Structure 1
Amino acid sequence: MATGALGAALLDKENVGLAKPLDGKAGLGAKRPLDGGVAGGDAKQRKSALQPLSANVVAGGSAGAASAGPLSAPCQPVAMGPPPPRAAASGRAPSGVEAAPAARERSTSGAAAAPRRWQLTDFDIGKPLGRGKFGNVYLARERKSKYIVALKVLFKNQLQQSNVEHQLRREIEIQSHLRHPNILRLYGYFYDATRVYLILEYAARGELYKELQRAGSFDEGRTATYIASLAKALIYCHSKHVIHRDIKPENLLLGLNGELKIADFGWSVHAPNSRRKTLCGTLDYLPPEMVEGSYHDAAVDVWSLGVLCYEFLYGQPPFEAAGHSETYKRILRVDLKFPASPERSDGVKHLIRKLLVKNPKERMPLEQVLQHPWILANADPAVLQRAT
């Protein structure tokens, strides 16, 4: 596909995504400039066409979010296990985020109760944490274990109107099966007549993108630690035949101890055959094979890791340009330039060059990223020594 034609199709859109975006308009999406600043206390973000189902799980309410009643005790992360596993439940709940009547299902014989299923009465609902296109995120506490979680409430009618039910099912299926310290846990879900509820791990230190905006850029030690953490998480995902396809700062959260967590699997796919052709993700992070409309595989995540490393160090993505068409051209040429300021080491520039290679087969494997001299010299040893 010619870059000019593709660039024209992206005008006045915010995200790269489906052939029919969620707003129902024709054409694909585009990018959001990094220097968007802060409005009303919330940073502007490059959002994928599929609104994150597990993003914005952060401390503090979003601007303009309706206030919710406080919990009976302060919501602080506690050292205990996740809420006990239960099955997804249907049933009905009154309008608004209020408690639903308790309900237990019994076996056909009526002799014994079936496993207890999640419902809204199992949680104390706290302050709102964020708003999305399809619903809101609330701080919550599971009543029995007192475990703190983030509860995302999605409205069925909005999901149906945008025709993304299948993407929600896919995201739940993928994320609920992933167990890695650098991947946000999806503990479970339940639903009623009008809403779907996702029970998510609470990332106490919030969005990495906002931290990057505040800092402008990260030093090499912090960047190396984040890249090593992500490399381990992506190695794990790829071992499960999961391709993420939308690695970027907005999709990363920070846990209580500052550990990085991948939080949005809206564009991820389980692809045992490893060859896909869907154009998805965010413009600045698209690899050349997606721009060209060619088949892609797990190597798209390797490219995104290189773009992310560059953005961490310089505060902007490497191929950013004034227009969408020019950005596409720079990606296809791999027009990689390193600013003189801030000054960065030759070691990290070497790593970035090895990740941002046009031919997917020639990109540095993630296992070799963890053995790169710059990573070994700068990343937190505790992260490098961790088994996974």
Structure 2
Amino acid sequence: MKFSQSQSATRSGPSGSVVSRNLRMNTISNNNNNNNNNHNNIIVSNATLMAPIPHVPQTKKEDNIFSSSKSFTSSKVSKPARSPRRSTVFNRLSVRKSTVPSTLLPAKDWQISDFEMGRKLGKGKFGKVYCVREKRSGFICALKVMNKKELMTYKVEKQFVREILLQANVRHINCLRLYNWFEDDQNVYLILEYANDGELYQLLKKERRFGDVRASCYIAQVAKGLLYLHSKNIIHRDLKPENILLHFDNQIKLSDFGWSVYSPGARRTTMCGTLDYLPPEMVEAKNHGKTVDVWALGILMYEFLVGRPPFEEENSKMTYKRIANVDLRIPNYVSPDAADLIKRLLRYDPDKRINLHDVLVHPWILNNKSRWKDLPTTI
């Protein structure tokens, strides 16, 4: 589920060349629907989705979001006269929510009228994301509005349900929080943690590329978020700047769990994610596991330091070829320590890629760590 306004945007690379995002395509094989079988018991084992929204003081910056925008009422989210054909997938999700023990139920059943909506944060094929304020508490969060009919038309409702069930169980400072969800006749709504400074991609586009201090600060946090997800047997599978959000004090949040999968044992076969970030095992249609995220971390690190992905070409065929051959060309201006870590992350053999624990104690991380506190605010 993509809500990035910059998905097909262009930006200038460090040498002034324009880097296209159009090659960032999502792919999926015919066996995608088989990936949902392992999620049926996840939500019952945790109270995560059912927790009431906490109260967090509103900041002046957040207040400006609402004072500078027109008040948003529930009438702006159009409602059909009759409910569209209801997918059995949504039925099962609703039943699962209602059968959780009563002690885990939220303080109330949410509806769109409970929120004052500020500016639109992004839009995608199936809906929009807004910055919202819960009227009673004043709590600031994000609301992801997904159209049911669109989800069913494109046969991605199972993927969307999987996204809800997985993210509901995620509790880590570097992973975007899903507080709750609700629905009406037309839409499904996700109540999400609000990341104050938006997409990391927007900062990268503005800066063109990052220096070692900022890049290492973000890579370390991404590694910590991935370590947590992997400890829960969750593979993210779509790591990229567009799916990383920035909060206060350069804190990052991994977001968009639409391609994520719960994989406690068997290796996966579905080809998915973003072309520039696909590992060799995916482009060669081999089984894959958690190390696809390690590869993606290497691509992300390279893009932070160089301003573009390492295997990007004018056409997808050439990109596939360079990925399969690990045709890695690191510019001379990348520091030796950084180049070493990139090479350790981007290895053809998944089993030979550096462990995420070792990423956090790599010299490139440790030598820059003391300067993270001096980084300026982000956007």
**Which residue does 2:134 correspond to in 1?**
142
> Could you tell me whether the CA contact under 8 Å between 1:98 and 1:120 is conserved in 2?
no
- Does 2:213 match 1:221? yes
The equivalent residue for 1:376 is 366
The answer to whether the 8 Å contact 1:118/1:190 transfers is: yes
Instruction: State the match for 2:258 in structure 1.
Output: 266
* 2:125 corresponds to: 133
Per the normalisation by structure 2, the TM-score is 0.73
Partner residue of 1:7? none
The alignment partner of 2:249 has SS state of: coil
Structural mapping, 1:1-388, within 5 Å: 35=11, 46=24, 48=26, 76-77=61-62, 96-97=76-77, 116-340=108-332, 343-379=333-369
- Seen in structure 2, the aligned counterparts of structure 1 residues 138 and 49 have a Cα distance that, compared at 3 Å, is farther
For residue 329 of structure 1, report the CA deviation from its aligned partner: 1.2
Tell me by how many angstroms 1:332 deviates.
Answer: 1.1
Contact 2:151 2:157 survives alignment (8 Å): yes
Distance 2:207 2:256 in 1: 23
Structure 1 unaligned spans of 5+: 1-14, 18-30, 38-42, 51-72, 79-92, 100-105, 107-112, 384-388
The Cα of 1:34 is off from its aligned counterpart by 5.5
The 1:139/1:33 distance shift into structure 2, 3 A limit, reads closer
Larger proportion of helix: 2
Q: Deviations over 1:214-252 (max 9, x none)?
A: 111000011111110001000000000000011111111
Tell me if structure 2 keeps the 8 A contact 1:36–1:44: no
Query: Do the aligned partners of 2:174 and 2:251 also contact (CA within 8 Å) in 1?
Result: yes
Q: CA deviation at 1:115?
A: 5.2
Tell me how far apart the structure 2 counterparts of residues 173 and 278 of structure 1 sit (CA, whole Å). Answer: 19
Please give the secondary structure, in 1, of the residue aligned with 2:227.
helix
Contact 1:204 1:255 (8 Å CA) reproduced: yes
Output the amino acid matched with 1:345.
S
Distance 1:171 1:241 in 2: 14
* Distance change in 2, residues 1:305/1:94 (3 Å): closer
Q: TM-score, normalised by structure 1?
A: 0.71
Q: Deviations over 1:39-86 (max 9, x none)?
A: xxxx96746469xxxxxxxxxxxxxxxxxxxxxx997449xxxxxxxx
Identity, % of aligned positions: 48
Q: CA RMSD in A?
A: 3.0
The Cα shift of 1:155 comes to: 1.0
Deviation at 1:284, TM superposition (A): 0.9
CA distance in 2 between counterparts of 1:380 and 1:188 reads: 37
TM-superposed CA distance for 1:328, in Å, is: 1.1
2:347 partner letter: V
The CA distance in 2 between the partners of 1:365 and 1:284, in whole Å, is 22
How far is 1:144 from its partner? 2.0
How far apart in 1 are the matches of 2:110 and 2:11?
42
Q: State the 1:176 CA deviation.
A: 1.3
Q: Following TM superposition, by how much is the alpha carbon of 1:98 offset from its aligned partner in structure 2, in angstroms?
A: 7.7
5+ residue gaps, structure 2: 14-19, 29-57, 64-72, 80-97, 99-104, 374-379
Q: What amino acid sits opposite 2:193 in the alignment? A: E
How many correspondences in the alignment? 300
Structure 1 contact 241–274 (Cα < 8 Å) conserved: no
Structure 2: distance between partners of 1:233 and 1:74: 26
The whole-number CA distance in structure 1 between the counterparts of 2:218 and 2:212 is 10
CA distance in structure 1 between the aligned counterparts of 2:287 and 2:59, rounded to whole angstroms: 50
Cα displacement (A) at 1:256: 2.5
